[in-house]
Amino acid sequence: MKAAVLREINTPLEIEDIQHGDPTPREVLVRTVAAGVCHSDLHFQNGSYPYPLPAVLGHESAGIVEAVGSDVTYVKPGDHVITCLSAFCGHCEHCLTGHMSLCQEPELQRPKDQPQRLSKGEEGIWQFLNLSSFAEYMLVHEHAIAKIREDMPLDRAALIGCAVTTGVGAVIHTAKVEPGSTVAIIGCGGVGLSAINGAAIAGAARIIAIDTIPNKLDLARKFGATDVINASDVDPIETVRELTGGGVHYSFEAIGLKKTAEQSFKMLQRGGTATIIGMIPMGTHIEIHGPEFLQERTLQGSNMGSNRFRVDMPRFVDFYLQGRLHLDDLIASRIKLEDVNDAMTTLETGEVARSVIMFE
């Protein structure tokens, strides 16, 4: 099968012919139909987050089940599925207490005494975040997929695999935004726009979108923003305070920068909660003025929207088909696997929300 392989940090992905293994008892072989190109992939390509190499990147995807292992009963060949990088074991403390997105059990990968799921001849290829979706097929643990209805377009379904689950989930699961509240979202990429959409679904009364790119702010209004702020023109903290009479109940940082993470905390009202969604680079430290905690402000993180993805993803599919999730507007372009490096480059400029690789 063809796959986009990262062999060295800060180099283009190489389109290569590699092999996948056969499903073991609890594995599923999925034929990839669509894969979003996410900023998180860029973080690993540029070395912000170290990862073993060579590896096939990609983690936001949807496809059709091709084959299943002998113990798999959840899906069968022909089923349509969305993948999720936060695979769960189902029996660790995190899973049993309802925090499945925090599961890190090693059983979700193959044991070291077994062949790797991906290879090129005698060379092992590392699987990226349990998935590696920049490839024509994915061989995954059965707990890395969610079955969905077949009338859902798979290019839009792929976005639910990361951007939507991360952004909407951070709003409804991590922060638990209340109806009638005020919300600010910093960053209007795929995750930020999904958070805006999630805040609208949650019933927030005022949703303030913040970015530096005008066309993204225009897009934010389509997703439910009631106000937009171009941070290149004004101080976003002071502007948010002026718009809301003192600050928002909830803020979300969806870029992954020290400066914007600190801004998200400073634009809160007393008792407000700031949630960091963006992947802040390794070694970065966030500075907060200590006395501000006396105002009962909260600064917290969110991993993949604190999801319960086998429950959430089918619901998000229903939201899209009901017209409540605006996935069509998230897709800037549909591309071929061979164009993946161009899509990675556009992520650095911040001009587009999502490019989606189509395999058929």
Residues 15 and 139 in one domain: yes
Whether 279 is covered by a domain: the verdict is yes
CA 115 to chain centre: 29
pLDDT in tens, 309-334: 999 999 999 999 999 999 999 999 99
Whether 168 is covered by a domain: the verdict is no
pLDDT (mean) for 134-147? 98
Q: In the 8-state DSSP scheme, what is residue 234? A: S
Confidence at residue 168, expressed as pLDDT on a 0 to 100 scale = 98
pLDDT in tens, 272-291: 999 999 999 989 999 999 99
Confidence at residue 105, expressed as pLDDT on a 0 to 100 scale = 87
Confidence at residue 178, expressed as pLDDT on a 0 to 100 scale = 98
List of residues 6+ apart from 338 with CB closer than 8 A: 15
Q: For residue 162, indicate whether it is catalytic.
A: yes
Whether 109 is covered by a domain: the verdict is yes
Whether 167 is covered by a domain: the verdict is no
Q: Is pLDDT at 305 greater than 90 in this prediction?
A: yes
Residues 284 and 142 in one domain: no
Residues 338 and 228 in one domain: no
**Rounded CA gap, 90 and 88, in Å?**
6
* Structure token digits, residue 91: 């029996």
> Of residues 84, 95, 103, 162, which has the active-site annotation?
162
Average pLDDT, rounded, for the chain: 96
Residues 94 and 184 in one domain: no
Residues 221 and 129 in one domain: no
SS (H, E, C) 48-72: CCCCCCCEECCCEEEEEEEEECCCC
Q: Is pLDDT at 142 greater than 90 in this prediction?
A: yes
Confidence at residue 196, expressed as pLDDT on a 0 to 100 scale = 98
The last residue of one of the domains, among 260, 278, 301, is 301
Whether 353 is covered by a domain: the verdict is yes
> Of residues 20, 39, 59, 173, which has the active-site annotation?
59
**Rounded CA gap, 188 and 195, in Å?**
9
Residues 101 and 16 in one domain: yes
Burial readout 47-73 (b: 16 or more C-beta within 10 A, e: otherwise): ebeeeeebbbbbbbbbbbbbbbbeebe
Q: Is pLDDT at 150 greater than 80 in this prediction?
A: yes
Torsional sign, CA 76, 82, 87, 92: negative
Residues 36 and 134 in one domain: yes
pLDDT in tens, 13-68: 999 999 999 999 999 999 999 999 998 899 999 998 999 999 999 999 999 999 99
Q: For residue 40, indicate whether it is catalytic.
A: yes
Residues 102 and 250 in one domain: no
CATH number for the domain spanning 254: value is 3.40.50.720
Whether 170 is covered by a domain: the verdict is no
> Which alpha helices (H) appear in 174-257, and where do they start and end?
190-202, 214-223, 236-244
Q: Is pLDDT at 158 greater than 80 in this prediction?
A: yes
Q: Is pLDDT at 349 greater than 80 in this prediction?
A: no
Whether 205 is covered by a domain: the verdict is yes
User: Residue 131's pLDDT band (boundaries 50, 70, 90)?
Assistant: very high
> Of residues 20, 43, 80, 249, which has the active-site annotation?
43
Confidence at residue 111, expressed as pLDDT on a 0 to 100 scale = 87
Residues 267 and 118 in one domain: no
Q: Is pLDDT at 74 greater than 80 in this prediction?
A: yes
CATH number for the domain spanning 312: value is 3.90.180.10
**Which of 280, 272, 211 is CA-nearest to residue 245?**
272
Confidence at residue 353, expressed as pLDDT on a 0 to 100 scale = 72
Identify the domain containing residue 330 by its residue range.
2-162+306-358
Residue 47 sits at the vertex; the CA angle it makes with 356 and 343, to the nearest 5 degrees, is 20
Confidence at residue 63, expressed as pLDDT on a 0 to 100 scale = 98
pLDDT in tens, 227-269: 999 999 999 999 999 999 999 999 999 999 999 999 999 999 9
**Rounded CA gap, 268 and 181, in Å?**
12
Residues 228 and 294 in one domain: yes
- Bridge partners of 31, per DSSP, are 64, 137
> Of residues 40, 101, 181, 306, which has the active-site annotation?
40
**Rounded CA gap, 212 and 216, in Å?**
8
The structural domain count of the chain equals 2
Residues 294 and 145 in one domain: no
Which run of H or of E encompasses 155? helix 154-159
Phi/psi of residue 175, nearest 5 degrees: -85, -25
Q: For residue 38, indicate whether it is catalytic.
A: yes
The last residue of one of the domains, among 301, 316, 338, is 301
**Rounded CA gap, 81 and 252, in Å?**
29
CA 129 to chain centre: 12
The last residue of one of the domains, among 301, 316, 348, is 301
pLDDT in tens, 75-94: 999 999 999 999 999 999 99
Residues 321 and 224 in one domain: no
> Of residues 38, 84, 95, 103, which has the active-site annotation?
38
Whether 171 is covered by a domain: the verdict is no
